[in-house]
């Protein structure tokens, strides 16, 4: 008599209904955050060539985009500013009339509590040298001098109306500095999202087009070495000890192992940023006809959720939220 398999694992894969019922992980719009680029001194949305479908928006159009995001039911937006003038110390980041702080105010009014308004807290978009902090006399990034500016940026963004500040500069002590500054002015209500495990990655290339980065050189002295996993966990623990409300791993796809380890070690929510290069690879490959675009997007996002991310920053946030609302499968 022929011996048949005792375990028939395929039984639970037989129909779409069965697969939905036994799926271990899924997505919902509330877990998605949309990064948005707001550019000074433009009057119409401008496409970003390296990121098909992603735009730089004039501040006058921002409320309309926020309305679309809120209607889609996503969890939030993350704002980045693109100024016309930059200087050595990133003055535009602390200026209440700077493009990012004005954008926060517009977005907060438009959102009216329906989604979270988040803001990138860093200097790279505002410095003429493109680094995430101010430079010392020898040309290195001055960690502690940068913290003093970060503290002022935190207060400016809180006063503009941000719900969550995304601390992305990778300076040691940035969470503690920003938390202390906010508490000192009575803004303990503002949450801090620490970009804890932020790697020195080639996958940021298209983003630098989006913010029109002026960087020369690299950021390897303050962003993490891609060869290191434990260091990412150590960074997250340090940020939690300093008062981070949420920690994040960036990029997402190439660092799912780090993401899973941070999730295991963290008592606060853990997010992930599906960065510009991850987005661009799928879009360009799909345009070339070599992959199924929608399935690739869904698979990538489910992989990030499977690794433990409780929310995902993704440029597909509104589109995927529509798919989920329509009951479409992501894989």
pLDDT at 1: 61
Q: Is residue 216 part of a domain?
A: yes
Q: Is 250 a catalytic residue?
A: yes
Indicate which residue of 198, 251, 276, 283 is catalytic.
198
Q: Is residue 20 part of a domain?
A: no
Average pLDDT of the residues of the chain:
97
pLDDT score of 4 more than 90: no
Q: Is residue 330 part of a domain?
A: no
Q: Is residue 64 part of a domain?
A: yes
- Residue 331 pLDDT class (50, 70, 90 cuts): confident
- Of 249, 186, 199, 250, residue with least CA distance to 225: 199
pLDDT score of 71 more than 80: yes
- Of 256, 116, 123, 262, residue with least CA distance to 192: 116
Whether the upstream peptide bond of residue 34 has omega within 30° of 0, thus cis, is no
Cα–Cα distance, 66 to 34 (Å, whole number): 10
Q: What CATH code is carried by the domain that includes residue 195?
A: 3.20.20.70
Sequence length of the chain is 331
The residues, ordered by sequence, that sit 6+ positions from 269 with a Cβ below 8 Å of its Cβ are 245, 246, 247, 310, 311
Cα–Cα distance, 210 to 51 (Å, whole number): 8
Q: Is 39 a catalytic residue?
A: no
Indicate which residue of 31, 86, 102, 250 is catalytic.
250
Q: Mean pLDDT across the stretch 151-177?
A: 98
Q: Mean pLDDT across the stretch 152-168?
A: 98
Return the H-helix or E-strand segment holding 183. helix 174-184
Q: Contact, 122 vs 181, CB < 8 A?
A: no
* Residue span of the structural domain in which 129 resides: 28-325
Look at 123 and 7; give whichever has higher pLDDT.
123
Minimum mean pLDDT range among 11-20, 76-85, 114-123: 11-20
Q: Is residue 17 part of a domain?
A: no
**pLDDT tens digits, one per residue of 264-296:** 999 999 999 999 999 999 999 999 999 999 999
**pLDDT tens digits, one per residue of 216-264:** 889 999 999 999 999 999 999 999 999 999 999 999 999 999 999 999 9
Q: Is residue 80 part of a domain?
A: yes
How many structural domains comprise the chain?
Answer: 1
């Amino acid at each position: 008599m022929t011996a048949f398999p005792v375990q028939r694992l395929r039984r639970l894969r037989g129909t779409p209904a069965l697969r939905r019922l036994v799926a271990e992980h899924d997505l919902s719009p509330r877990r998605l955050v949309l990064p948005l680029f707001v550019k000074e001194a433009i009057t119409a949305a401008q496409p970003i060539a390296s990121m098909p479908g992603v735009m730089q928006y004039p501040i006058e159009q921002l409320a309309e985009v926020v309305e679309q995001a809120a209607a889609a039911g996503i969890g939030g937006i993350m704002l980045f500013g693109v100024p016309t003038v930059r200087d050595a110390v990133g003055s535009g980041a602390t200026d209440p009339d700077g493009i990012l702080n004005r954008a926060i105010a517009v977005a907060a009014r438009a959102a009216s509590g329906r989604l979270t308004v988040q803001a990138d807290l860093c200097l790279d978009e505002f410095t003429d040298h493109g680094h995430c902090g101010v430079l010392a006399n020898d040309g290195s990034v001055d960690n502690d001098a940068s913290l003093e500016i970060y503290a002022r940026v935190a207060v400016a963004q809180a006063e503009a109306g941000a719900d969550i500040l995304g601390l992305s500069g990778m300076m040691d002590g940035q969470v503690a500095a920003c938390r202390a500054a906010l508490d000192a002015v009575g803004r303990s209500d503002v949450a801090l999202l620490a970009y804890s495990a932020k790697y020195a990655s080639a996958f940021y290339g298209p983003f630098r087009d989006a913010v029109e980065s002026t960087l020369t050189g690299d950021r390897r002295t303050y962003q993490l070495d891609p060869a290191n996993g434990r260091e990412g966990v150590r960074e997250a623990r340090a940020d939690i000890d300093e008062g981070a409300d949420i920690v994040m791993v960036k990029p997402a796809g190439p660092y799912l192992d780090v993401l899973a380890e941070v999730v295991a070690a963290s008592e606060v929510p853990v997010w992930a940023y599906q960065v510009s290069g991850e987005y661009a690879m799928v879009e360009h490959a799909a345009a070339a006809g070599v992959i199924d675009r929608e399935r690739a997007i869904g698979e990538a996002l489910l992989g990030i959720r499977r690794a433990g991310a409780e929310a995902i920053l993704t440029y597909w946030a509104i589109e995927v939220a529509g798919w989920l609302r329509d009951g479409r499968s992501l894989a």
